[in-house]
Structure formats: structure tokens, C-alpha cells
Amino acid sequence: MTSFVETVHDGRVSTMTINRPDKLNALSPEVLSDLKAAIEETARRDEVRAAVITGTGKAFVAGADIAAMRDMDEAEARGFGALGHDVFNTLEQLRFPVIAAVNGFALGGGCELALACDFIYASTKAKFGQPEVNLGIIPGFGGTQRLPRRVGPGLARELIYSGKVIDANEALRIGLVNALFEPDQLLARAQKTAADIATKGPLAVAAAKRLIRDGVDIPLTQANKRERDAFGELFDSADQAEGMTAFLEKRAPDFKGA
């Protein structure tokens, strides 16, 4: 059976591509299951230090599969929402950073998928939105929670309540997107950034990701304590010794992740 997600491992960088272009890469239960399998397979590779997620064709992910959702009852809808949350939480909890390379439409579940990544690069032709209210529902894969954390509650309310779609320039202006690139440059630029991250101390990058991810939900004093502890713990690693020695010797470090 052909997977809806194609994964390419290139040394320390992996690229996961959602490949259902005839349906604009819409997230059906099967696509979500394939995405989770790809995420878990990538996570098992010790050499991977950064990843990119993108889509095939003119969409990143145009949304959840409405045809698959239309006749769901409450229990089925809860299950579908739980699957989406499980997949995106698995993605968010990865030890290494993931860059969303949004090549086109990122609507509904597609916007939520991008939000579950560490940050977003987008094509100049990309479109973003949480238009679920147009269907009589709400975002079900984390949009009401991750979007306010990314752009602030006021803008998130406007986007979710109105269901409007914004272009790439507006997404950049409000801080949803980190950078814009021409369509033919997007994937290469995302992979280049991932490759650059992959040269850094993997234990340090993983600690920074964990602290940033978890710190937003706890008091600042507690978050700072966690940072202090993680900072100290890294001084018991071979990577810290290598990194500082390489700096003093004016050479590139050779991090082992230990």
C-alpha cells in the first residue's frame, strides 16, 4: 500500500512530504496515520538532527478531509480530533526541530500542522487560515491553542472567528511565518536552515526546544529554574567540552550528541 507521506533522509536532515495532490493533501485519517508513522520512523534515526515538512503540488495541506468528516457522528468526530492531536503532539515533542515549508494552501488542519512545527517558512504564494467556522465547526487539531501562542490572542480570535484566509505577506507581518521565499527556492532554503541547525550541539538544541515549548505554560520563575538546571546539566556532556574546545582552537566542532 502506498503511503501518503514520502520521507527522504539526507544525512542529519529528513524531509517529510505529504503526497495527496489530487485532494490538495487533505488530512484524512489515513493521511494522519501515515504522517505519524513517518514522524515515528524519523524519530528512531539517531543521526537525524532536524527535519522539514512540506506538501506536493499547490498545497501544503488544504485542510482536513471534509468528505471524510461530513457524516461523522459525535463519537467519530472526537476520535478524528484525538488522532489529529496525537499526531501533532508527537511532532511537537520530537527532540529535534522541524521546519514547516508551506508551499501553498495551509488551511484548517494544514495551518494547524504548520503551527505544530517549530517555525514556518512559506512560499510567496502561500495562504493561511482557520476557516472551520464556515463549516459550522472549530479547529480540532490544536488551532485554538497554538495559534494564540504564535500570533497573540487578539489576532488569533480575529482569524478563527472570521474564518478569513490571509496571504503570505500578512502571515509574515503578524509573525505566523518566519520568512518568505519564491516557490522554487522554498524547500531548498528550509533544508539549508535545517542543515545549519544540524551542525549545532544536538543536546543543546534539544534542551532549548524543550524549554521554549514547555516554558510558555508555566510561571516565569519556574521556567527560569528549568533553564538554569538544563544549562548546568549540559556542562556534564562531551558536546560542551568539544564545543568550547573547538571555539578556543578556532575550528569547527564535531558534536556527537553525548
d(CA 186, CA 101): 7
Catalytic entry in 112, 170, 227, 242:
112
Specify whether the backbone of 11 is left (phi greater than 0), alpha (psi in -120 to 50) or beta: left
Is 168 within 8 Å of 126 (Cβ atoms)? yes
d(CA 105, CA 126): 6
Q: Which three cell numbers stand for residue 117?
A: 512545527
Q: Mapping DSSP to helix (H, G, I), strand (E, B) and coil, where does residue 54 land?
A: strand
Write phi, then psi, for 72 (nearest 5 degrees). Answer: -70, 140
Sheet holding 127-129, edge to edge: 59-61, 105-107, 127-129, 165-167
Is 49 within 8 Å of 96 (Cβ atoms)? yes
Catalytic entry in 6, 30, 132, 242:
132
β-pairing, 127-129 vs 165-167, is: antiparallel
Q: Cβ of 220: how many Cβ atoms within 10 Å? A: 8
C-beta pairs of 29-34 under 8 Å, 24+ apart in sequence: 29/68, 29/80, 29/83, 30/4, 31/4, 31/5, 31/65, 32/83, 32/84, 32/87, 33/83, 33/87, 34/3, 34/4, 34/5
Active site residue 182: no
d(CA 40, CA 127): 28
Active site residue 112: yes
Residues forming the active site = 112, 132
